Amino acid sequence: MKNNNLKILIAAAEIAPIAKVGGLGDVAGALPKALVKLKLDARLIAPFYGVIDRNKYKIKLIKQNIKTGHALINLWQTVLPDSTVPIYLIEHNFFKNKKIYSLGAGGEPKDTERFSFFSLAILESMKAINFLPDVVHLNDWHTAATAALLKNDYKDDRFFKQTKTLYTIHNLANQGLTDSKNYMAEGILNADLINTVSPTYAKEILTKEYGAGLENILAKRRKQLYGILNGIDIDFFNPTNDKLIKFNYSAETLEKKLANKTALQCQLGLFKNEKTALVGLITRFVRQKGIELITEKFSKLNCQFVFLGTGEEYYEKALLNLAGKYPNKFKVLIKFDEKLAHKIYAASDIFLALSLFEPCGLTQMIAMRYGSVPIARLTGGLADTVNNRVGFTFKNFGSLKFYKALKLALKIYYEKPKAWQKLRLNGIKQNFSWDKSAKEYLELYKKLKNLKK
Ligand code: ADP
């Protein structure tokens, strides 16, 4: 039985694992699997980028020469790996090159042009294959134009008479700007309902501090604005059977984490000592992530730091500088490395999430799943997932506030082992699965279906 016969089409610029750059891809790849468990008919649509491996994913042509504006497109189909979720892929010259995003350099079409075309192609493809969604679930500015098209150009199109739109904001900082348009604003103004990826961030973006210039537009839609926390892939991030770590463990065998710690200390050339607190950080090294809060005075603390990430040269250099000066305290690894990331989650006692702003944030949740205690700045999704039952928090964005929080954490780590164990167990027992978030999306979809046009 399908749930209320709800048919959902999720449109996104990225879908993990077939075409992923960041968190947007993770969400698009994980949410529909959880929706299918709730018996919804959920399907995905994305551009057919040159990077997508046609053979690996057994992609088949299903419809040719669909008229889209003045152009023609072909529609291809595959399924989301490890699921039954159909993925439709739109083939057009705009998407042929090897990159998912394009800067419009060297005469290439700009992303605003590519994705506004994609937004139109979404609607024409659905008509061509006669799939009538109850809700088109749009994600970030790339698909925002679809909401505007349904409200304007397609207003009298009988095919989409019942179709509603949900617009999910993953990153308010990227707005899709042209001389005359702001696609993010267009999505916010035209979608039937809007959500962002945590309850706290949904409130914060109504303020000047977090609104990225769109706070007034968002305020107009505040009654239609929701916050739903992202989940994490609890099968991929699972210390009990994670193949990327040396020693598997669970809430019952947390002491085995120590073997992962000493293994990582040896691998990275830090002093091997199972008692020394290991502090991890895995992130993009950019302003958003609060890298500037980590300064030389942290070298005085009785712990070892392991930082993994890539990003802006300024922040990479600042961290490498610390590692150069205090090689026994700081290890800084500038690369994207999934295996090392898992090893750090498994090895660390403490995990940092210092963001200036954070729509949701996944690393703090993954860290807790691996029994690592987070220290988080109280903002966005960090405020929704970290509290003093599971970790340590600080409110004002400042190095001293962070320093005090870490000092307190170390004191409890070294002097109050029982209290420390309680924090770790509370964290590891939390449920960050997509199943929970998918139920909240289901409620929004139902609300949309019952909405009068
Ligand atoms: P973002 O703002 O980058 O989306 P999130 O916390 O939402 O931040 O998600 C980051 C994800 O990327 C996490 O799964 C994290 O483990 C992973 N990640 C970030 N940097 C690296 C890296 N250098 N190597 C491996 N994984 C990384």
What are the tens digits of pLDDT across the range 227-237?
999 999 898 89
173-186: pLDDT as tens digits: 899 999 999 999 99
Structure token pair of residue 151: 């409200």
348-391: pLDDT as tens digits: 999 999 999 999 999 999 999 999 999 999 999 999 999 999 99
Average pLDDT over residues 17-38: 92
- How many angstroms is it from 234 CA to the middle of ligand 1? 15
Three-state secondary structure call for residue 337: coil
- How many angstroms is it from 80 CA to the middle of ligand 1? 22
Binding site membership of 362 for ligand 1 (Cβ less than 6 Å): yes
Query: Residue 104: pLDDT above 90?
Result: no
Binding site membership of 341 for ligand 1 (Cβ less than 6 Å): yes
CB contact set of 139 (below 8 Å; sequence gap of 6+): 10, 11, 12, 13, 24, 27, 28, 167, 168, 170
Helices marked H in 358-416: 363-369, 380-385, 399-415
The minimum-distance atom of ligand 1 relative to the CA of 363 is: 6
Helix (H) or strand (E) holding 377: strand 373-377
Binding site membership of 290 for ligand 1 (Cβ less than 6 Å): no
Residue in 265, 249, 200, 196 with CA at minimum distance from that of residue 224: 196
Distances (CA, A) of 231 to 237, 435, 438: 11, 8, 9
Binding site membership of 363 for ligand 1 (Cβ less than 6 Å): yes
Binding site membership of 23 for ligand 1 (Cβ less than 6 Å): yes
pLDDT at 1 (0 to 100): 47
Question: The tokens 């926390």 sit on which residue?
Answer: 229
The protein residue whose alpha carbon is closest to atom 18 in ligand 1 is 283
**Mutation to probe ligand 1, out of 336, 339, 362, 382 (largest number of atoms < 8 A from CB):** 362
- How many angstroms is it from 285 CA to the middle of ligand 1? 10
pLDDT at 4 (0 to 100): 60
The percentage of the chain sitting over the pLDDT mark of 70, rounded to a whole number, equals: 99
- How many angstroms is it from 343 CA to the middle of ligand 1? 14
Structure token pair of residue 324: 């150069």
Average pLDDT over residues 130-134: 97
Burial (CB count <10 Å: 0-12, 13-18, 19+), residue 299:
middle
Q: Which domains are seen in the chain, by residue range?
A: 3-231+435-449 (3.40.50.2000), 251-431 (3.40.50.2000)
Peptide bond into 133 cis (omega under 30): no
Binding site membership of 308 for ligand 1 (Cβ less than 6 Å): yes
Let me know: does 108 contact 73? Beta carbons within 8 Å: no
Which sign does the torsion angle of CA 407, 409, 410, 412 carry? positive
Let me know: does 138 contact 189? Beta carbons within 8 Å: no
Rg (CA), the chain: 23
29-50: pLDDT as tens digits: 999 999 999 999 999 999 999 9
Structure token pair of residue 137: 């679930």
Burial (CB count <10 Å: 0-12, 13-18, 19+), residue 127:
middle
Binding site membership of 361 for ligand 1 (Cβ less than 6 Å): yes
62-92: pLDDT as tens digits: 999 999 999 999 999 999 999 999 999 999 9
Helix axis angle, 434-450 to 23-37, nearest 10°: 80
The minimum-distance atom of ligand 1 relative to the CA of 23 is: 4
pLDDT at 273 (0 to 100): 98
Helix (H) or strand (E) holding 137: strand 135-139
Structure token pair of residue 418: 């029982």
**Structure-derived torsion over alpha carbons of residues 94, 97, 103, 108, reported in degrees to the nearest 10:** -60
Residue 176 φ/ψ region, left for φ over 0, alpha for ψ in the -120 to 50 degree band, beta for the rest: left
- How many angstroms is it from 221 CA to the middle of ligand 1? 30
Distances (CA, A) of 227 to 44, 200, 304: 22, 7, 36
Q: Which residues of 135-149 are buried (b: 16+ CB within 10 A; e: fewer)?
A: bbbbbbbbbbbbbbb
